[in-house]
Amino acid sequence: MKNLDGKVILVTGAARGLGEAICRELSAAGAQIILADVRADLANQVADDLRSQGGKADVLTLDVMDEKQIRAAMEKIHQDYGRLDGLINSAGIDKTVSIDELEVDDWDCIMSVNLRAPFLLSKYALPIMREQGSGHIINICSTASKRAWPNASAYHASKWGLLGFSHALLTEARPHNIKVTALIPGGMRTPFLLDRFPDLDPNVLQDPKNVAETICFLMLMPEETVIPELLVLPIRETSWP
Ligand code: NAD
């Protein structure tokens, strides 16, 4: 049974990695997926594949650093679909350097994609969700939202910030029957880690599909229940005690 039939869900960072896995799971459950990414080439390949399997998938070329693009995207979604049931903020970036080496521009970019974008996307999604009296925003945090390690200061700041923002957003969204969840994945086998750390043992990481299945579970929870925060770790997680 396709339980997400008729649901319209926007996924950022949809072109690869966790975002792609989320699109695949939610599409298999029947949702209309809007794949948002700067990498339109990759996003189109994923969307073509979803459609070839009978899914409903559209690509939205979107740089989440650009407020104007986000506002225009939300207006288009309102116009074209008339609703937005889910917003999954998965786009994320990092740069592995010390604070001494971290350029101010790098700090700004990381904060913009990882923290400012979920704020902007939520801000412009909320009116649509309030109008329909329902919705679910899922912010992809990280174990970096809970702990700290060297050479990731901007990433940590953005992800701790996103966890805080997610809880704050829930306090304002709840009265309108809108759910907000901070999903905290541990290490996953995606290009985000595998491209940057070729020596990393993939066996200590988890398949992003497992996290995507958890998101599908969250979207299918009974209407009266919300899970504000959820950790999903590989059993051999190295960055968690
Ligand atoms: P990834 O690098 O494989 O994919 C990230 C996607 O985001 C890419 O498709 C990229 O094009 C897109 N993106 C980057 N900047 C963008 C922008 N300005 N506008 C629109 N799209 C943009 O990364 P991933 O592993 O799939 O990570 C997804 C999320 O999960 C991120 O928020 C990341 O911080 C988080 N996370 C990842 C891991 C992990 O181990 N991979 C662990 C915990 C949390």
Distance 127 CA to ligand 1 centre (A): 26
Residue among 126, 117, 241, 142 nearest 179 (CA) = 126
pLDDT band at 1 (very low <50, low <70, confident <90, very high): very low
Which of 58-67, 74-83, 150-159, 230-239 shows the lowest per-residue confidence on average (mean pLDDT)? 230-239
Q: Which residues of 57-82 are buried (b: 16+ CB within 10 A; e: fewer)?
A: bbbbebebbebebbeebbeebbeeee
Mean pLDDT of 74-94: 98
Eight-state DSSP code of residue 51:
H
Nearest residue (CA) to ligand 1, atom 42: 187
Question: 33 CB contacts (<8 Å, ≥6 apart)?
Answer: 9, 11, 14, 23, 26, 27, 47, 50, 55, 56, 57, 58
Q: What percent of the chain is predicted at pLDDT more than 90?
A: 96
Ligand 1 atom closest to Cα of 159?
Answer: 34
The answer to whether residue 81 is catalytic is no
Which of 35, 85, 135, 155 is labelled catalytic? 155
Whole-structure pTM value: 0.98
H-state helical runs in 1-102: 17-28, 40-52, 67-81
